[in-house]
Amino acid sequence: MEWEDTKENFVPVKQGHSAAALSTPLSVAKRSRELEEAKRTFLENIKTAEDPLAAWQRYIKWTQEQFAAQGSKSELQQVLELATKTLSSTKRHNNDVRFLRIWVQYVSDSPLNRFLIAPHLSGQDPVSNAATA
């Protein structure tokens, strides 16, 4: 096994990392296949879950643990964006604090998202505000 396939730099996360996830080194190809299969499973479970918000939280936590070694948050950002878009399409979770936590996590990682989304949360339109400035 080559050194590049085994070294890891883990980005710290607030909740910490799963010891099991950190202690299981895999080849890059095998890991990629397993990650894609796990993603499909999570998305299928979300579609059929009685509480989709709880299923999204599990998927987000899993994403944080699995992609911590890459040092980038792009995978997590994609999952958070998909979660917020999907959950926003129904009013079921609008008053749920778990949904708010997902939104806060999503906008806190991207300055562009803060610019575009924060005004909507306060009832303002960022495009018209920028045009009048």
pLDDT in tens, 80-120: 989 998 998 888 888 899 999 998 888 877 666 666 665 55
List b or e across 120-132, with b for residues whose CB sees 16 or more CB atoms inside 10 angstroms: eeeeeeeeeeeee
Backbone angles phi, psi at 93, to 5 degrees: -110, 10
Q: What's the pLDDT band for 1 if we cut at 50, 70, 90?
A: very low
pLDDT tens, residue by residue, 39-80: 999 999 999 999 999 999 999 999 988 876 665 578 888 899
List b or e across 29-59, with b for residues whose CB sees 16 or more CB atoms inside 10 angstroms: eeeeeebeeebeebeeebeeeeebbebbbeb
Check residue 65 and give its pLDDT: 85
